[in-house]
Every structure is written in C-alpha cells, then in structure tokens.
Structure 1
Amino acid sequence: MARLHPYNFTHVLLPQLAWRRPVSVRRELSDPYLARELLHYVWDKAAENLPAAEKVAPKGLRLSWHEVAGRVTALFHLPAPQATMEAHYSALVYEDDDEPAETEAEETRPRYFTLEAALGLASAVGTPTLVGEWAGEVHRHLGRGPAGGHPDTSAAFLEVLAMVLGPLPPEEEEAPFMRLVRS
C-alpha cells in the first residue's frame, strides 16, 4: 500500500493545483527558485495532517523541463517509491505553445501523467512500473512503463509519453477572408 505522504503529493495535490491555476503554476514552475519553494510547500501540505512517523523526507524532489513530442513538459523527480501506486516521476504536459497564456481562462489544463511502482519482482532490469494519467477524478493506467530505479528511467518515461501523445497536429493556415480574383 502506498504511503499517504507521497501519494497525496503526486496523486492529489500536485495535479489539483496545476489544474486549478494553470497559468500561475506554470509561471512559478518556470522560475527555478519559485519552483523549488512551490514543490516543497506542496510536499509539506501533503503531510499536514499525518503523524510524524508517516512523513517522508523530500529527498530527490526536483523539477526539470523537457520538450516531449513538441510539447513543453515539466518532469517531477520524486522521492524513491517504496510501494505500489507511489511514483518515480510525474509530468505536466502543456498542449499549447511555449508561452503561457495571459489569463487562466485562456489556458488549457495540462495533461498529468505518472510513472508508478507496480506489483512484481525486481530484476536486473529494474522494478516494474505502470504509466498512468489523471484526468480530473479519473485515473487510467496506460500500460507497463520502463523499468524503475535506473539513471535512464526518466528519459525512458519521456519516450513513453512521446508515444502516448503522438505528434502535434499541423497548424492550420487561416483561410483568407476575401480573395480578389482578376478576370
């Protein structure tokens, strides 16, 4: 069973915050100092009502930015999972361009993915994982993920996300409002 502290952070608070205030959160995560402060604040909030014995140190908690299938992606490096449903990584994938929208109303909610520890025996290849996606209250498993616990696990997770997302649709050229034709 997942420990409540990392579960609350990854599966509840982080996606809710990103979806409730997409523009503000994206801007804060884009600033290295603010990102660190925000992540540690949310980490502490995830353990707010837990007994001291159930709190987990934020060892390894950090953020890196990537481009995945043409989309800006915030990759959260999480403390090492100890049980199923705890995540190695999670990612916010922004479907729009590189620049955040000016207002919350203009911003589309980012997609939120996880690379979770799964049941199974660890092997020389690594620990078994599942790729998941949260969409509001719905959590879907998208299938097996790359082996966890390796230095290249994050890159392999981003490759899986690229396959899930697929290429961006081509930008449509605007049709002219009126075309002058000479006869």
Structure 2
Amino acid sequence: MARTHPYNFVHVLLPQLAWRRPEAVRRELSDPGLARDLLHYVWDKAGEGLPVSEKVPPRGLRLSWHEVAGRVTALVQLPPPQATSEAHFAALVYEQNEAPDDDDVPELRPRYFTLEATLGLSTGEGTPTVIGERNAEAHRHLGRGPAGGRSDTASAFLHALAEMLGPLPDLDVPYMHVVRS
C-alpha cells in the first residue's frame, strides 16, 4: 500500500498546483531557487496532518528540464518508491514552448505523467513500473514502463513519453474553408 505522504504529493497536490496556475508554476519551476522552494513547500503540504512516523523526508526530490518530442518537460524525481502507486518520476509536459503573451489566449494546462512502481518481482534489470497519466477527471495507466531504480530510468521514461506523444503537430498547415455560394 502506498505511503500517504508521497502519494499525496504526486497524485494530488503537484498536479492540482500545475493545473490551477499553469504559467506561474512553469515560471517558478524554471528558476532553480524558486523550483526547490516550491517543490519542498508542496512536499511539506503533502505531509501536513500526518503522524511523524508517516512523514517521508524529501531525499532525492529534484527537478530537471528536458525536451520530449519537441515539448518542454519538467521532470520531477521523487524519493525512491516503496510500494505500488508511489512514483519514481512525475513529468509536466507543456504542449506549447512559450507562455502566451496575449491575455486573450487561454493558458494551456500541462499534461501530467507518472512513472509508478507496480506489482511484480524485482530483478537485476530493475523494478516493474507502469506509466500513468492524470487529468482533472481521471488517472489512467498507459502500459508498462521502463525498469525502475536504475541509473537510466529517467532517460528511459522520457524516451517512452516521446514515443507515446509523437511529434508536435505542424500548426502552420493550412486548413480547409467551406465556402458556400
């Protein structure tokens, strides 16, 4: 059974924060000092109200930025999972590269993916994982992920996301107009 503290962080608070204020969170995560403070603040909030024995220290909690299939992606590394549904990583995938300058352009919510520990036997190859995607309505598993707990797990997760997402659509493609005479 997943520990409440890391579960609350990755499955509740971090996605809610990223979706409630998408551009502000993206800017804060882009600044190394603010990113560290924000992640630790959210980590502390995730453990609020829990008995001391259930709180998990944020050892290993860090953020890095990557390009995944042409999309800017914030990768959050979490403390090592110890149970199913706890995550090795969470990824905020931004579908547009720049924040909109125009107030009339709506903010785009990032897509939110996780690489979660799952049932199965650990082998010399690593621990079994599943890739999940969460949106405001649901959390769904997208299939088996790369082995967890390895030095290449982060890059393998990003590679798996790139394959799932595919290339960005060409937004300059002309579109069809229906003309009535």
TM-score for both structures, normalised by structure 2: 0.93
Identical counterparts, % of pairs:
70
Q: State how far apart, in whole Å, the 1-side matches of 2:23 and 2:168 are.
A: 21
How far is 1:137 from its partner? 2.8
Deviation track 1:88-127 (CA, whole Å, cap 9, x = no partner) reads 0000000012x22245962110000000000000001100
Alignment length (residue pairs):
174
- The equivalent of 1:54 in structure 2 is 54
Q: Which residue of 2 aligns with 1:154?
A: 154
Structure 1: 4+ residue segments shifted above 2 A: 101-106
The higher radius of gyration belongs to 1
Q: Distance in 2 between matches of 1:101 and 1:41?
A: 27
In the alignment, the residues of structure 1 paired with residue 54 and residue 104 of structure 2 have an alpha-carbon distance, to the nearest angstrom, of 35
The equivalent of 1:178 in structure 2 is none
Structure 1 residue 173, shift from structure 2 partner: 5.2
Alignment of 1:112-151 (within 5 A): 112-151=112-151
Distance in 2 of aligned mates of 1:83 and 1:166:
31
SS in 2 for 1:162: helix
- The one-letter amino acid of 1:82's match is Q
In the alignment, is the contact (CA less than 8 A) between 1:40 and 1:58 conserved in 2? yes
Gaps of 5+ in 2: 176-181
Q: CA RMSD in A?
A: 1.4
Q: Deviations over 1:33-60 (max 9, x none)?
A: 0000000000000000101000000000
- Describe the SS at the equivalent of 2:170: coil
Matched, 1:69 2:69: yes
User: 2:108 aligns to what?
Assistant: 108
* Partner amino acid, structure 1, of 2:169: P
Task: Supply the distance in 2 between the matched residues of 1:173 and 1:129 (Cα, whole angstroms).
Answer: 38
Q: Secondary structure at the match of 1:136?
A: coil
Give the 3 Å change call, closer, same or farther, for CA 105–16 of structure 1 in structure 2.
farther
Give the gaps of 5 or more residues in structure 1.
Answer: 176-183
| C-alpha contact 1:22 1:104 (8 A) present in aligned 2 | no
What's the CA shift for 1:170?
A: 1.2
